[in-house]
Amino acid sequence: MHCPFCKAEDTRVIDSRLTEEGEQVRRRRECERCSQRFTTFEKAQLLMPNIIKRNGDLAPFKEDKLRGGIESACFKRAVTPDQIDHAIDTVMRKLRQSGEREVPSKQVGEWVMEQLDELDHVAYVRFASIYRDFKDVNAFREEIDRLEKLPSAEERRSQMTLIESDDKS
């Protein structure tokens, strides 16, 4: 790796650590020529499946579109950027684990709603109202009635897990 300071070709790794739950490697490097230190991050580049849109067209998966939808739903809600990142990572992991070259947008939307349901019920209803194309107030009312019967996202997070799960979604 070239030194970003003096452009020398020889740098050495002085420390490596796993970050982001083992999904990324952080490397601390030092330039052999100028002795400056810098950090690099290494992450696997995995191909994401194409998305089959509602009209049948294929579109490449775009993480920024996924992020925009989740961030819009969570706007002015008590959801942290780390929680949003985790939701995005979970949806992307499910996409990769599907093993499919093409995944319907409907499936991606369902995975997003699962994540939002765990984070914040208002964010979930916001996203669902657009995604499911609620036609009137009754559609909102039915979804809210369903949510009121469930424990809140905060209550679910504070509950103790009785059975450990291998799935970290």
pLDDT in tens, the chain (169 residues): 999 999 999 999 999 999 877 888 999 999 999 999 999 999 887 789 999 999 999 999 999 999 999 999 999 999 999 999 999 999 999 999 998 999 999 999 999 999 999 999 899 888 988 877 777 777 778 878 887 887 766 676 676 666 665 554 4
Place of tokens 């970003």: 4
What is the pLDDT at residue 162? 66
Structure tokens at 9: 């070709």
Structure tokens at 79: 């959801």
- How buried is residue 27: exposed, middle or buried, by Cβ count under 10 Å (0-12/13-18/19+)? middle
The DSSP code sequence of 122-163 is HHHHHHHHHHTT--SHHHHHHHHHHHHTSPPHHHHHHSPPSS
Q: What are the structural domain ranges in the chain?
A: 11-43, 50-156
Evaluated on CA atoms 6, 7, 13, 18, the torsion sign reads: positive
What is the pLDDT at residue 169? 44
What is the pLDDT at residue 87? 96
> Which of these, 21, 14, 104, lies nearest to 57 by C-alpha position?
104
Report the DSSP pairing between strands 58-59 and 102-104: unpaired
Structure tokens at 51: 């998305």
Cβ atoms within 10 A of the Cβ of 86, count?
A: 18
What is the pLDDT at residue 33? 96
> What's the rounded Cα separation, in Å, for the pair 82 and 77?
13
Q: Say what the pTM is.
A: 0.63
> What's the rounded Cα separation, in Å, for the pair 101 and 114?
22
What is the pLDDT at residue 134? 74
Contact 3, 37 (CB under 8 A): no
